[in-house]
Structure 1
Amino acid sequence: MDMEQETGTPRGQPFGAWLVSQTGRSGFIGQIAEAAAGDRNFPRTGDVEAAKKWLQGRRASGDDWEALEDAELDWLSL
């Protein structure tokens, strides 16, 4: 995996920015990306933990948590 030493993120892109870039994608990842893109409070420059806190604040359902987990796996596979 090509990890940036300074940021610890795949290819240097924050998780939040990557997730927002997934709008238009089908399935649960696309749905959570749409929700994130439409929420001014979503941590676009944040990491996975920041996205989890955002979901907690929204009182997310189990499907949302599963979507976030799938998104994290996709992001890490970059």
Structure 2
Amino acid sequence: METTMQTATETRPAFTEWLKAQQDRSGLVGQLVTAVRLDRQFPFNGSPDDVRKHLNKMQADGDMFEAVDEAETDWLCY
């Protein structure tokens, strides 16, 4: 009997796809989700680092970087 195991990256959606689905979140992550939905240049299908690079380029405030950190932790636990 052969058993196959999927890795977390095979079953977990891309960070930004997961983030877009968090529309009912409040706090900083909720603010980040709102920004994602309004930003046509947002790096969809991107990693947390892609999001940080984009926020840096857009000169976002520090709270948005904190929101990415919080969201990344939640995403990794998904």
RMSD: 1.4
How far 1:60 sits from its partner (Å)?
Answer: 1.2
How far 1:20 sits from its partner (Å)?
Answer: 1.3
Larger Rg: 2
Which of the pair is proportionally richer in helix? 2
Counterpart of 2:3 in structure 1 is: none
Residue 9 (structure 2) aligned to one of 4, 15, 20: 4
Structure 1 CA distance for aligned equivalents of residues 19 and 54 of structure 2:
13
How far 1:43 sits from its partner (Å)?
Answer: 1.1
How far 1:12 sits from its partner (Å)?
Answer: 3.0
1:60 partnered with 2:60: yes
Identity fraction in percent: 38
Structure 2 CA distance for aligned equivalents of residues 28 and 4 of structure 1:
25
How far 1:48 sits from its partner (Å)?
Answer: 1.0
5+ unaligned residues in a row in structure 1: which ranges? 6-10
How far 1:69 sits from its partner (Å)?
Answer: 0.4
Counterpart of 2:24 in structure 1 is: 24
The number of equivalent residue pairs is 72
Seen in structure 2, the aligned counterparts of structure 1 residues 4 and 68 have a Cα distance that, compared at 3 Å, is closer
Conserved in 2, the CA contact under 8 Å of 1:18 and 1:75? yes
Q: Using structure 1 for the length normalisation, give the TM-score.
A: 0.83
Give the SS at the match of 1:4.
Answer: helix
Counterpart of 1:73 in structure 2 is: 73
How far 1:24 sits from its partner (Å)?
Answer: 2.9
How far 1:58 sits from its partner (Å)?
Answer: 1.3
